[in-house]
Amino acid sequence: MPQRRKKVHKSKRKGGETGGIHKRLSMKHKTKDFDQIVSAIKNGEMNVNGEMAKALPIDEDKPGFGQFYCGVCDKHFISQAVYLKHCTQGPHKSKVKRVQKEKPWTVEDAKGRIDNGPKLGRKPWDNDLNLPVNQNQANQ
């Protein structure tokens, strides 16, 4: 009778038989996306520095009962002193500068960058984007 194959270790992080925990670990520290921050500023929910326009509701599950929140960094702080210290540090300042200078990507920007060069082996009848077809490709 032939011998059985050795069992190979299956990592929990990569998702062996149990599905893994990598997705849960990566989503644990998920912050707001850049376009969400810009839309919140445009809607008047917060100002450019990340301070909220209206008072936040008390939430016992969050640090500092949810009262000291930086909207740009999407973080809650335990006290006003820690929040003010955070506002003077580099990562917060760089995110504020990014919000002020950059504009978020839109759907039109993404659609405009679909065609990124010549397609190899394109036939004249495959011109779905209405792009000009080279004569060399048309003769083939």
**pLDDT band of 138, cuts 50, 70, 90:** very low
Cβ contact 62:68 at 8 Å: no
For the whole model, what pTM was predicted? 0.60
37: left (phi over 0), alpha (psi -120 to 50) or beta: alpha
Burial of 48 (0-12, 13-18, 19+ CB in 10 A): middle
More confident of the two residues 39 and 133:
39
Rounded Cα gap, residues 121 and 91, in angstroms: 47
Contacts of 92 (CB under 8 A, 6+ apart): 50, 70, 72, 73, 86
For residue 95, the enclosing domain spans: 30-102
Rounded Cα gap, residues 3 and 16, in angstroms: 24
Is the confidence at residue 93, as pLDDT, over 80?
A: yes
**pLDDT band of 82, cuts 50, 70, 90:** very high
97-136 pLDDT, tens per residue? 999 998 888 887 777 666 656 666 656 665 555 655 555 5
Q: Measured on CA atoms in the order 16, 20, 26, 32, is the torsion positive or negative?
A: positive
**Domains in the chain, number:** 1
Two tokens at 70? 């930086």
Q: Is residue 94 part of a domain?
A: yes
Q: Is residue 23 part of a domain?
A: no
